[in-house]
Amino acid sequence: MKRIALLLSAALLASCATPPPVEKNAKKETPSAETPPKPKPEPKPVAKAEAPAAAEPAPERDPRAAAVEVAPEPEAAPKPEPASEPEVETLPQDGIPPGWRFGVQAYTFRRFTFFQTVEKLAALGVRYVEMYPGQKIGGDVPGRTGHGIAASSRAAIREKLAKHGMRISAYGVVNALGEDGWRKIFEFARDMDIDTINIEPPQHQLAIVSKLCDEYGVKAGIHNHAKPSRYWDPRTVAAALQGTSELLGACPDVGHWTRSGLRTVDGLNVLSGRIVSMHLKDVKSGAYVALGEGDSSIAAVMAELRRQKFAGAVSLEHEGHVEDPFMPVKHSVLFVRANATLDLEKLDQGAARPGDQTDDVADVWTGLDPHADGLWGDAPGEAKDDVAAGYVDITDSIKGVVTGPDEGYPNEHYTCAFDNTSQTKYCVNLASVWVQYAFPEGQRHAITAYSIRTANDAPERDPSHWKLLGSDDEKDFEVVDERDKQKFRGRFQKRVFEVSKPKAFRIYRLDIVRNASAGPKTQLSEIELLVKKEDAPPGVLPPEVAVPLKEHPDSSKWQDLFASDLAGALGGKDVWSFDGGVLTASQDKCLFSAASYDNFIVDLEFKTADGTNSGVIAYCSDVGNWIPNSIEIQIADDHSKKWSGGHPNTKCCAFYGHKGASGARVKKPGEWNRLTVQCKDHMIWVMLNGAQVNEMDMRRFTDAKKNPDGSTVPSWLSKPVASLPRRGHIGLQGKHAGAPIYFRNLKIMAIR
């Protein structure tokens, strides 16, 4: 088969052909997915087509990924509306692969209004546009695009689209907080005749989305951003789609796959049969370029989509050249048309594929880091801490009060700035903002450095100019350190800043004067106040402990895992309570620690009842969807008929679903047991009633379906253990299947 990219030159000639005349008032029909392309007009000899503008650096994440109800504001005010249609060459609408609703993601033209975007795309002969939430509508229509716009604004958008013979092919990337929010999105899609929405929600919300897809007859595509976002790995998406509606599928963004080090065609093979929409973008050396000029193998991607007989919304997206991306988009459109007619018959017969394609799909994964989690959260080894070697975060052990001038968006409170996890962030609708940490009365500490970690998305919201201030009375502040024109290279990046002249204060305030874009929103993920390890106050530095322990420790002076009133605990604390020092649950809900831990020892006592099926949960990275995102040390009544004959991987002290315990002897119901769980780096050890009964090297559990001993992993444990973060919340499972569980003397010690 000839190299398909050579067809581009013919398309460049065809692009300059004079378009057929259109009757001024003729009604424009929007073709269905089955409408065959029109015959190409005869090309006329022309000069060489102009080259696209030089590539611009690619931002790390697309700010639309953080959208809950609306997306971030555009980077700058849209340009004024033109008095008439733009005077640009009109390209014919032809050469689009059958079944494709080929359009452009409006985010490409985010510096323009939605109406201006429609006009530019119509001039290119593009009949579809993917709407994103947050773009100014334009004309005399107030507000921004989104599923919350008024009926009059919707009518104006329909009229504008009809005028140019266009339709909305998809809407996204968009998320919601709960079923009511998702219903508003689906109702908007149905009202605007939008076939597909593109989404990026937590996995525990996919059941809601799946149900609504069937109810409304609207497709939903799980979109991916680059590593380390939630769905960067297509295997994560494939696993998440198991058992869901056929209308719920994947929206691969091949440019982000390239930025994650993945081969695009292999990713498409992993998701074969479940792709409902596509984002086509190309990247070269970290910069966005026109399709066909980068490393994303776009021609091979198109061939593979045709081989899979894909039909659906395909959105070209170009995130560079924000001032005016018209020319790169034009060249990208031409590339798609030039490479739309591959010889599928020869391809299906096994003819040689382009060099980027492979018949052995599995080989792409052999070079991946088995510890890359594919989650929106801490990557293994990131937590505590490669860039801050030699320091310790004093806020970990000396608990203070966090305050700020604005609480932030829902679930993005200022307390998130000091909660020891990058899963959360403090995001506020302010161009400048401060957040402070006050140590208890009578305590003053001289920090020698501090760190700032960026959040999951929207680099334009990163802090750029700030002052670290110190005070003892919250009235008079001194400048401890000041930084200006600071840049962060990526998402979740932590940078450490040394203080040249440390001085002791009770209160430290990070005063962010300006963000990276001087825009209306500011955010960060985490702040640490650091002291050198050798200068750490007593009790701040975690002790060095040789693990595994040979016997149960004396934990009487350790920190309580949960406060007596469960203050700060996460999860179902409404059904958990202490009674006479005994903690139990009235329903099947889990209780989680407020803090996240990496290296630690948990020591506790538990008592079973007849048929108890509970557990201690380690390294939980998502308390709302804990089962696939944690490791459970099983607690079970092995004396009951239900559990005595069960699989070893489900009995007491097993790593549930993965590895059974050896020599575990849980006591009969009503008798207290002693359990010590030790976690350090990639190792976990379990001690029950004085005996070491189980251990796990997380690195060995690299398969989501088979354990190293050949036993089958339950389907609901959909992520390989090796891929899980080695930092997370500690939890307890509640009254599962109606059988009670009782705990007491729950203690924890962080270790080095």
pTM above 0.75, yes or no: no
Cα–Cα distance measured from residue 220 to residue 171, given in angstroms and rounded to the nearest whole number: 9
DSSP annotation of 531: E
Name the one residue in this structure whose structure tokens are 């990337």.
173
| Angle CA 527–532–536, to nearest 5 | 95
Nearest to 278 by CA among 329, 221, 240, 225: 221
Predicted confidence at residue 424, as pLDDT, reads 80
- Average pLDDT for 56-69: 38
Mean pLDDT is lowest, of 103-117, 349-363, 732-746, for: 349-363
CA quadruple 300, 306, 310, 311: dihedral sign: positive
Nearest to 469 by CA among 498, 434, 418: 434
> Higher-confidence residue: 188 or 416?
188
Report DSSP letters for 304-333, one per residue: HHHHTT--EEEEE---S-TT--HHHHHHHH
> Higher-confidence residue: 659 or 230?
659
DSSP annotation of 293: S
Average pLDDT, the chain: 80
| Angle CA 472–474–477, to nearest 5 | 75
Per-residue pLDDT of 153-199, as tens digits, reads 999 999 999 999 999 999 999 988 788 899 999 999 999 999 999 99
What does the chain come to in residues?
752
Residue 397 pLDDT > 60 = yes
Mean pLDDT is lowest, of 29-33, 239-243, 306-310, 621-625, for: 29-33
- Average pLDDT for 5-22: 34
Q: Is-contact 61 72, C-beta < 8 A? A: no
Cα–Cα distance measured from residue 252 to residue 233, given in angstroms and rounded to the nearest whole number: 10
User: How many CB atoms sit inside 10 A of residue 270's CB?
Assistant: 20
Distance of CA 372 to the CA centre of its chain: 13
The pair of three-digit structure tokens given for residue 408, joined into one six-digit string: 């932030």
Predicted confidence at residue 116, as pLDDT, reads 95
Strand 287-289: give its sheet, edge to edge. Answer: 56-57, 287-289, 282-284
> Higher-confidence residue: 71 or 227?
227
Query: Predicted confidence band at 341 (pLDDT cuts at 50, 70, 90)?
Result: low
Predicted confidence at residue 95, as pLDDT, reads 64
Per-residue pLDDT of 301-323, as tens digits, reads 998 898 899 999 999 999 888 78
Exposed, middle or buried: residue 454 (CB in 10 Å: 0-12, 13-18, 19+)? buried
SS3 readout for 539-557: CCCCCCCCCCCCCCCCCCC
Predicted confidence at residue 17, as pLDDT, reads 34
The SS3 of residue 77 is coil
Per-residue pLDDT of 218-227, as tens digits, reads 999 999 998 8
- Average pLDDT for 93-99: 69
Amino acid found at 529 = L
Predicted confidence at residue 356, as pLDDT, reads 36
- Average pLDDT for 699-704: 88
The SS3 of residue 192 is coil
Element at 530 (helix H, strand E): strand 526-532
Per-residue pLDDT of 417-472, as tens digits, reads 988 777 688 999 999 999 999 998 888 999 999 999 998 888 999 999 999 999 99
Distance of CA 509 to the CA centre of its chain: 29
Cα separations in angstroms, 590 against 403, 584, 623, 624, 722 = 29, 11, 8, 10, 23
| Angle CA 1–334–174, to nearest 5 | 105
Query: Predicted confidence band at 543 (pLDDT cuts at 50, 70, 90)?
Result: low
Phi and psi, residue 508, nearest 5°:
-120, 135
CA quadruple 700, 701, 702, 707: dihedral sign: positive
DSSP annotation of 524: E
Cα–Cα distance measured from residue 288 to residue 266, given in angstroms and rounded to the nearest whole number: 21
Cα–Cα distance measured from residue 166 to residue 82, given in angstroms and rounded to the nearest whole number: 19
State the distance between the two ends of the chain, measured CA to CA, in whole angstroms: 59
Q: Which residues pair with 607 in a beta bridge?
A: 672, 742
Per-residue pLDDT of 141-152, as tens digits, reads 999 999 999 999
Cα–Cα distance measured from residue 292 to residue 513, given in angstroms and rounded to the nearest whole number: 41
DSSP annotation of 719: S
Residue 237 pLDDT > 70 = yes
Query: Predicted confidence band at 473 (pLDDT cuts at 50, 70, 90)?
Result: very high
In order of their start, the domains of the chain are 1-6+99-344 (3.20.20.150), 391-535 (2.60.120.260), 559-750 (2.60.120.560)
Residue 694 pLDDT > 50 = yes
321: left (phi over 0), alpha (psi -120 to 50) or beta: left
Exposed, middle or buried: residue 571 (CB in 10 Å: 0-12, 13-18, 19+)? buried
Predicted confidence at residue 358, as pLDDT, reads 34
Cα–Cα distance measured from residue 614 to residue 148, given in angstroms and rounded to the nearest whole number: 43
| Angle CA 657–661–667, to nearest 5 | 115
The answer to whether the bond into 228 is cis (omega within 30° of 0) is yes
Residues 6+ apart with CB under 8 A from 287: 55, 56, 57, 58, 320
Per-residue pLDDT of 574-606, as tens digits, reads 899 999 999 999 999 999 998 888 889 999 999
Nearest to 727 by CA among 460, 386, 464: 386
Report DSSP letters for 100-129, one per residue: EEEEEEGGGGTTS-HHHHHHHHHHTT--EE
Cα–Cα distance measured from residue 406 to residue 404, given in angstroms and rounded to the nearest whole number: 6
Predicted confidence at residue 193, as pLDDT, reads 94
Cα–Cα distance measured from residue 37 to residue 44, given in angstroms and rounded to the nearest whole number: 20
Mean pLDDT is lowest, of 129-133, 345-349, 564-568, 582-586, for: 345-349
Strand 463-471: give its sheet, edge to edge. Answer: 401-403, 433-438, 507-515, 463-471, 478-483
Per-residue pLDDT of 719-739, as tens digits, reads 889 888 888 889 999 998 889
Residue 373 pLDDT > 80 = no
Residue 37 pLDDT > 80 = no
- Average pLDDT for 481-486: 94
Mean pLDDT is lowest, of 137-141, 389-393, 678-682, 727-731, for: 389-393
Q: Is-contact 271 237, C-beta < 8 A? A: yes
% the chain with pLDDT above 70:
80
% the chain with pLDDT above 90:
49
Cα–Cα distance measured from residue 382 to residue 423, given in angstroms and rounded to the nearest whole number: 12
Q: Is-contact 529 504, C-beta < 8 A? A: no
Predicted confidence at residue 94, as pLDDT, reads 53
Residue 359 pLDDT > 80 = no
Burial 157-194 (b: 16+ CB within 10 A, else e): beebbeebbbbbbbbbbbbbeeeebbbebbebbeebeb
> Higher-confidence residue: 239 or 368?
239
Q: Is-contact 621 377, C-beta < 8 A? A: yes
Residues 6+ apart with CB under 8 A from 485: 464, 465
Phi and psi, residue 534, nearest 5°:
-70, -15
CA torsion 347→352→358→361, rounded to 10°?
50
